Amino acid sequence: MPLRVLHLITDLEIGGAETLLCSLIEKLDSERFECSVGYLSGPGTLRDRLEKHGVEVTRFPNTFVLDARTVHRLSRHMILEDIHILHTHLPRAHFNGAIAARSLKKQTGKPVLVQSRHNTNHFTGLRRLSIPLDRKLARVAARILPVSDSVRDEVEKRTRLSPDRITVVQNGIDIQCYPNRSPQEPNQEAKNLEKELGCQEGTRFILLVGSLTPQKGHRVAIDAFSRISKVVPEAAMLLAGIGPDQNHLEKKVRAHGLAERVHFLGQRQDTAALMRACDVYLQPSLWEGFGLATLEAMASGAAVVASRVGGLMELIREGETGYLTRAGDPVELAKKTLELLSQPFLRRELGKRARVVAREQYSIEETARKIGAIYEDIAGPAGPRVSPSRS
């Protein structure tokens, strides 16, 4: 009989954690694990992808960070579906899931709780008030899975859990979804993009994929592009994603006089093609737990310039598979981007080496194998093995 695993996530919109969840479930062995998904808010853009794969998806309406109605509905669902393992993703899911799991486990002996930690710096501003709650509820988890060493360091510091309850499992991607880019410049994807956007022939595309939020550094990228555009007048910036910062970013673009050269693409399903079309991929995040979009760009053979923060420092080998710059520094970001735009051979070589690293070290199959082994370890015949936390 397969282990019944319920994945609970805050929403199912297109983002790093959400996309990874879909890829993970598609690669877990269905004979060993029967996976279902619950989400708390939003329209559920990725729901169709999961249901086409035969995954049951349930929404648990959620109004508050901690919502008694959500906990009740989630608890009833786990009893009815005989869930063995609850695997939560992102803070709101962690909080509601931990309370439901703790209550049920006292009554029935299950489910065992696993938490994936996808980012650093979750608890800024008013969210810092949630740190004591996170520390307390993290102790309910049999295992916490940070996606990078930098996330692990933050989790250890914040939760004070013993290290044997924290296991790093890096994100992975399905390399088959990211065909290698053509060495011809401009390639067919770039020509298609020129036609779609009404750009002149030979446009140099600079791409950034990510939610339009302060974390992702779009403001820094726009300031950098204002410098780049004066040196490379045929350059265009592409911003793929949606988010609450869009109005501010559009005003900033107009203030720089760049409205005709910065394109807000909205939510795109063809990001792999965009990455093959771009001359340079930017990830100027102010903080980043891993950087899944950066890994996708590497797998596409793009030349990457990213911030020297968090998981991005683990992904990028400076000068070998991309460039790293100081977070929040548009001058250095512009300088490195211009260096790549002026040297086609360097761009190609960085992209080739980045693709090799992505293919050899970050496969979704390996991610699924590691997580599957953890599931069986904590829910095996001897039952969950939980070590005491440090005081």
Residue pLDDT, tens place only, 70-110: 999 999 999 999 999 999 999 999 999 999 999 999 899 99
Whether 157 has a pLDDT exceeding 50, the answer reads yes
Give the end-to-end CA distance of the chain in Å, rounded to a whole number.
38
Gap between the Cα atoms of 275 and 110, Å rounded? 43
Q: Using 50, 70 and 90 to split pLDDT, how confident is the model at 388? A: very low
Contact present, 222 and 216 (Cβ < 8 Å): no
Distance CA(142)–CA(153), nearest Å, equals 18
Residue 125 is predicted with a pLDDT of 59
Would you say the CATH fold of 176-361 matches that of 3-172+364-378?
Answer: yes
Confidence of residue 382 (pLDDT cuts 50, 70, 90): very low
* pLDDT over 70 (residue 214): yes
- Mean pLDDT (the chain) is 93
Return the CATH fold of 3-172+364-378: Rossmann fold (3.40.50)
Which of 10-24, 169-183, 349-363 has the lowest average pLDDT? Answer: 169-183
Residues near 273 by beta carbon (within 8 Å), at least 6 away in sequence: 189, 192
Chain-centre distance for alpha carbon 68: 28
**Where do the structural domains in the chain lie, given as residue ranges?**
3-172+364-378, 176-361
pLDDT at position 380: 65
**Res 384 pLDDT > 70:** no
176-361: CATH, from 3.30.70.600, 2.60.120.960, 3.40.50.2000, 1.10.10.350: 3.40.50.2000
Cα→Cα distances 186→5, 260, 268, 275, 367, Å? 46, 21, 21, 13, 34
User: What average pLDDT does this structure show over 109-126?
Assistant: 83
Mean pLDDT of 188-215: 96
List the one residue out of 261, 266, 213 whose CA is nearest residue 237: 261
For position 120, what pLDDT does the model report? 87
pTM: 0.92
By mean pLDDT, which of 10-14, 131-135, 214-218, 343-347 is the weakest?
Answer: 131-135
What is the average pLDDT across 289-300? 97
Task: Kindly tell me if the per-residue pLDDT of 193 is higher than 80.
Answer: yes
* Section 226-233 average pLDDT: 98
Enumerate long-range contacts of 159-167, CB under 8 Å, 24 or more apart: 159/134, 159/135, 159/389, 160/135, 160/389, 160/390, 160/391, 161/389, 161/390, 162/387, 162/388, 162/389, 162/390, 164/387, 165/141, 165/386, 165/387, 165/389, 167/143, 167/374
Write down the pLDDT at residue 132.
87
pLDDT digits (tens, 9 = 90+) for 46-67: 999 999 999 999 999 999 989 9
For residue range 239-256, list pLDDT tens digits in order: 999 999 999 999 999 999
Query: Which stretch of 4-18, 171-185, 193-207, 258-272 has the lowest confidence by average pLDDT?
Result: 171-185
Each residue's pLDDT tens digit, 255-273: 999 999 999 999 999 999 9
Q: Which of 3-7, 140-144, 382-386 has the lowest mean pLDDT?
A: 382-386
